[in-house]
Structure 1
Amino acid sequence: MGHHNHHFAGDRHALSGVWSPPTSSANFCEEDYAVTRYFAEFINTLTNLAYVLFALQYMYGPGSRGLLSPKTDFMSVSLLVLGIASFLFHATLRHGFQFGDELAMLGLVWSILQGSLVVRRSSVYDRFVNICLATVFPLFGAFYVWTGKIIYHVIGFAIAIGLIILRGIYLFYLRKPAFPQDKVAEWRVRGRIALILMGVAYILWNIDLEFCAELRKLREDIGLPWAWLLEFHGWWHILTAMSAARVMDIVREVRKRVKEDTEE
């Protein structure tokens, strides 16, 4: 069963944590409060720091204006927000933070989709895209929270990922005039790597959901600390953070290239 219909509130320590009892509808294969009473899912909580790390890497990378004046854009902020929101959710397993995590996931793909669409010269086109996205995504997020059905979140997230992929196909294969071939070839390779990372993350995410009993038995046999390597939802966080950061870098480079071409 998936996390939307299989709850692990019966774990040995589930009712002894600071944030007990779990109230979220989503609860993953990591045993609740097995490591510390302060984090409901220890590994699933800490691996969210990958999102924060990649966000800060951009914010304080080349072009940063100092500790109090980081370089930010919609994508880096959305990555940072997701890391914090998912950290709080997995640390507490409270239903309110679950919505925060899931809405932050939508915000992340929203930011990447917006960044990949708004790369043309037409300011009218840019405004139209921004208005559409600024209308559709908040309304969809509100609809999801109102229904509380995870399937709508999955559908919305998948549609956004699909649109990002289609946009990439247009930019790197169909766009006229085309970008320089050396840059397109590089972006294609990096884009494929990002897709592979996302694909592997999705596979591990599903294994964590569907084969929880088997994974828990294997972890028990292996023992700590090596058993932590089999906390596959934690790998979902790390690999999706790596994938998102790579896609964001490509989007920024495409936008920069279009801007340079416009100014020539």
Structure 2
Amino acid sequence: MPFRLPSLAYPHPGNAGYWDPVTATINWCEEDYYASHYVAEVVNTFTNAIFIYLASVGVCNCIKNDHPRVFLVAYVGYMFIGLSSFIYHTTLKYWMQLFDELSMIYTTCVLFFAVFSHGKSTLGQLLLGIFTAGLALFITVYYHYLGEPVFHQVMFAVLTATVVFRSIYVMEKTLRPPPPAVGKGNGNGHGNGNGSRSEKFGQLRDQEILCNMWAMITTGLSAIAIGFLFWNLDNIYCSSIRRWRRQIGLPWGVVLEGHGWW
């Protein structure tokens, strides 16, 4: 007899939920109202608690360490993404869907401004701010007019990729130690005086910071890629995944909630 983990049977989806009817243009693979009369998608809703917690940690760190205000605004934006996604997956209402999706765009626009305003003059930052606000307004109006989720997904992906590549460029330009000058030093490779030792220490420090930054980038991009993969598998093989969830039961079926991983 094959080994089977102890589990509970999945409840049948509710006939009508508290927030019915569904008006959102996207309804995910998680079955609606199967666990609660008041929460349409339980896993997709409560996984946002992790997002809200991490955003709260970021806000506290920004205040504690007196980081530039733009990063505080970005973390507050992350918190709004988590809150709006929580409400959207609870209700599956169209206006809550817009709240969720557009908060993703606006927060990414804040990051766009942050990475491109680095080193610019006051006038340059003002012009960049006007451009970024105009871009956010265009995406908002056009998406609401078009009503096509793919447009939002493409714009979010383009903005995110732009922010990531620009951040990598700024990071490398700022922290990567320059190659040693030919003929510099006293011929024995040790340089001269305290200035040389101080410069060497600064380069080693920057190199360590750069390595840590690359480790965080790799971890973050890997997490995004895995979440995106699970989300798409959830969309493509939804009927099969729903059947597998019911076969293995709760709580193990929660692992197969692909959008929850995203």
- Give the TM-score of the pair, scaled to structure 1: 0.77
Partner residue of 1:204 out of 226, 230, 249: 230
Matched residues in 1 for 2:152 and 2:34: separation?
Answer: 29
1:55·1:76 contact (CA, 8 Å) conserved in 2? yes
AA at the equivalent of 1:161: T
1:147 and 1:62, CA in 2 relative to 1: closer, same or farther beyond 3 A? closer
For residue 103 of structure 2, give the secondary structure of its aligned residue in structure 1: helix
In the alignment, what sits opposite 2:17?
17
TM-superposed CA distance for 1:169, in Å, is 3.1
Q: Does 1:231 align with 2:230?
A: no
1:58 and 1:169, CA in 2 relative to 1: closer, same or farther beyond 3 A? closer
For residue 30 of structure 2, give the secondary structure of its aligned residue in structure 1: coil
TM-superposed CA distance for 1:195, in Å, is 0.8
Task: Return 16-25 or 181-190, whichever deviates more.
Answer: 181-190
For residue 73 of structure 1, give the secondary structure of its aligned residue in structure 2: helix
**What residue ranges of structure 1 are gaps of 5+ in the alignment?**
1-11, 66-70, 237-264
In the alignment, what sits opposite 1:170?
169
**What residue ranges of structure 2 are gaps of 5+ in the alignment?**
1-11, 178-205
1:128 and 1:184, CA in 2 relative to 1: closer, same or farther beyond 3 A? farther
Identical residues among aligned pairs (%): 27
Q: Note the aligned Cα RMSD (angstroms).
A: 2.3
Q: Which whole-Å deviations, capped at 9, do the CAs of 1:90-128 have from their partners, x for residues lacking one?
A: 001111111111111112222222222222152232222
Matched residues in 2 for 1:61 and 1:24: separation?
Answer: 35
TM-superposed CA distance for 1:38, in Å, is 0.4
In the alignment, what sits opposite 2:113?
114
1:109-258 to 2 correspondence within 5 Å?
109-173=108-172, 175=173, 178=176, 180-236=206-262
Q: Does 1:33 align with 2:33?
A: yes
2:175·2:207 contact (CA, 8 Å) conserved in 1? no
AA at the equivalent of 2:57: Q
TM-superposed CA distance for 1:170, in Å, is 1.4
TM-superposed CA distance for 1:58, in Å, is 2.0
Q: Does 1:51 align with 2:51?
A: yes
In the alignment, what sits opposite 1:5?
none
Q: Does 1:96 align with 2:78?
A: no
For residue 82 of structure 2, give the secondary structure of its aligned residue in structure 1: helix
- Give the paired residue count: 220
